[in-house]
Structure 1
C-alpha cells in the first residue's frame, strides 16, 4: 500500500452512479449530473470498506511532492483533457448510451497539448508508449510548480525551495482536536499528495484570509480523520451530511487496507456545498512557523506561537 492518502487517479464513488439529464450542481453550464444510486459499489465491498479509515475530502486543488531535477519539488495537478471537438463527440456518446464506456479516443488528435515537463500520474495505462485517458476522457498528471509560472502563483506561495520546505496544515501531534500551521521539509512529504486550500482556491469555502492578505496552505491527504463516521448506507450518509456538525464537509474518503480509495461527495447525494460553516473552518489552530534567516514564510512567522479558536480567524498582518 502506498503512503496513506496518495491520490493519483480519480477516486470511485462508494455507490454505483447514474447520469441524469438535469443541470449539474457541481459544474456551471453542465446540462447533466452524475448522482449516486443506493447500491453500494462492489469495489468498496471487495476492499472491505467497513474496516477502512475514514477521512475528510477537502475542497481545493490536488498537489504532489516528488523529485524534479534531483530535488523534492511541489507538483500541481494538470489533467490532459480532450479538445472541443473530441469533448462534443464524447458528450453525445455519454448522453446516448447513459455511460462513458465503449467510447474510442484518437490519442494522437483528440487531446490538448501539455507542457514538456508534464508527467502522467501513477497508474495511468499506456498503449504503444502513450498514456491513455480514463473513462471520463482525462489523463491525470502533474507539472512542477516553478516560481516563474504565474498560473501556479498560489501553489508557489506555500513552498520555499531555498529552505526546501512547505507550509502545511495538519492535526497537532499532541492533540488531534487542534490543527497546526507549520513548515515541513519537502523531503518529509516525498511521494505524498496534498490539497492546496485557501483564499484563491475554489471560491475559498473555508473562509481563509482575504484578498489583501491571502492565506494558503497544504493539507496532507488522509490527515483529517472523521472520528465517528456513518455506516456505508445511502440514507444514513445522507442524514449525517445534513444533520451532523462533523458532516459539514465536501465529502469523505475511505482508505481501505489494500490501498483502495473510495469517496462520496455531497453532490452525489443531491446536497449543496458549501452549506453553512464547513467543519474545518471551525477547528482551533496554532501557528508554529519559526523565523528563519532565509525569510521562510515571513507573514506566518510573525504569528508563531499564536492560537486561534477557529481556522477562519487566522489573519495575516498587513
Structure 2
C-alpha cells in the first residue's frame, strides 16, 4: 500500500499566487486575499504534477501519530505564534511590501511560549539552532493529546491509549464507493498525519453528529482519492469545482511521486466554502467498530461504545449516522 506524504509544513498552492487588496474569504481579520494566478507553480512542474495522485483536501484540524512516553500517541497541531507586538510589526511589513521576505524575527523574544512537550514539525527549517517561522509568521508544530487535557477533548475522543487504537474513516477495501468507520491500531499509523473532522471542528461542514451526540473521526491524509480529476489547468479546475458533483470538496491535495505535496483551495479561486452539501457527507458508510474484540477493551470510551453499538450498520450518507436515544 502506498504511503502518502505527511503534512509537516504549509503546503504550497499548485498555481503561483498573488495578493489582492480585498477582505480575505478565509481569515476574517486579514485585509488582503491570496489568490491563484493561471501559472502553474514551478514546484509542481518539477515534481511531475501530471502524474500525481489527486486527493480530497479535508476541512478539519491536522493531527500526527508519533511516539510519546514510549507508546504511539496522537498529537494535535499547535503552531507557535508571535506576540501581539511582533505580529503587528510583521503585518505592517507584509502589507507594505506585499510579501514577508526581508522581515527579521527574533524567535526567542517574538514568540509566545508553548508547552514543554511541544515539538516543531519535521519540515520546519532551522537557523542557528532555532526554528524558522513560515510565510504566515507561524512555527508549525505538535503537542501530544493527553487524556486529561480538556482543550483537546475532541481529539481524545477518537483514541483509546489503553487499547492502542484510533477511530478512522477510510474507503472500504472491498468497495471504494463505500466509506467505513473502523478501529485502527495507533502503531499502524505511526509517522502519518491525519485530519480530525466532526461536530465541533471548523463549523462541521460534513454535518457529522449533533450537539447532544457529537461525532469526530480521523481521516488519513491522502486516503480519499478524487475520481477523474481535471488536469492542472486554471479554467478547467474552476469549472470542476463549480459544476461537478465530485468538485464539492474544500480543495485538492496532489501527492507527487517524489513526496512533494501541492494543493488548491476553493478560496484560491474566489469560490465559497462550504457551499451546500459536500461529496464526502453524501457517501454511504458502514460502521466496523467491534467492542467485543478481546484485545480492544473500549468500555470506558463514549464514542467507541456508541459506535460499537452500530457495528455492522450501513448508512446511505455519512451525515446520517445517528445513535439510538
* Aligned partner (choices 301, 311, 317) of residue 318 of structure 2: 311
- The number of equivalent residue pairs is 317
Give the whole-Å Cα distance in 2 for the aligned partners of 1:227 and 1:61: 24
Give the whole-Å Cα distance in 2 for the aligned partners of 1:198 and 1:317: 19
The match for 1:84 is 84
Give the whole-Å Cα distance in 2 for the aligned partners of 1:91 and 1:21: 14
Deviations 1:224-258, CA, capped at 9 Å, x for gaps: 00011011011100000000000000000000000
Give 1:5 shift: 3.3
Decide which moves more: 38-47 or 122-131: 122-131
* Uncovered stretches (5+) of structure 1, i.e. residues with no partner: none
Is residue 9 of structure 1 aligned with residue 20 of structure 2? no
Deviations 1:185-239, CA, capped at 9 Å, x for gaps: 0001111100000000000000000000001000000000001101101110000
The match for 1:159 is 159
1:53–1:256: 8 Å Cα contact kept in structure 2? yes
2:160–2:298: 8 Å Cα contact kept in structure 1? no
Give the whole-Å Cα distance in 1 for the aligned partners of 2:76 and 2:138: 15
Is residue 301 of structure 1 aligned with residue 293 of structure 2? no
Give the whole-Å Cα distance in 2 for the aligned partners of 1:298 and 1:224: 26
How big is the alpha-carbon RMSD for the aligned residues of Structure 1 and Structure 2? 1.1
Is residue 194 of structure 1 aligned with residue 194 of structure 2? yes
Is residue 269 of structure 1 aligned with residue 275 of structure 2? no
**What TM-score does the superposition give when structure 2 sets the normalisation length?**
0.96
* Uncovered stretches (5+) of structure 2, i.e. residues with no partner: none
Is residue 29 of structure 1 aligned with residue 29 of structure 2? yes
Deviations 1:12-52, CA, capped at 9 Å, x for gaps: 00011111111111112221111111111110000000000
The match for 2:184 is 184
Match of 2:81, SS state, is: coil
Q: Within 5 Å, which residues of 2 pair with 1:177-256?
A: 177-256=177-256
Match of 1:282, SS state, is: coil
Decide which moves more: 110-119 or 20-29: 20-29
1:171–1:223: 8 Å Cα contact kept in structure 2? yes
1:215–1:316: 8 Å Cα contact kept in structure 2? no
Decide which moves more: 143-152 or 121-130: 121-130
1:213–1:317: 8 Å Cα contact kept in structure 2? no
Give the whole-Å Cα distance in 1 for the aligned partners of 2:298 and 2:201: 27
Q: Which runs of 4+ in 1 moved over 3 A?
A: none
The match for 1:109 is 109
1:79–1:140: 8 Å Cα contact kept in structure 2? yes
Deviations 1:125-177, CA, capped at 9 Å, x for gaps: 11222211112211110000001111100000000001000000000011111
Match of 1:142, SS state, is: strand
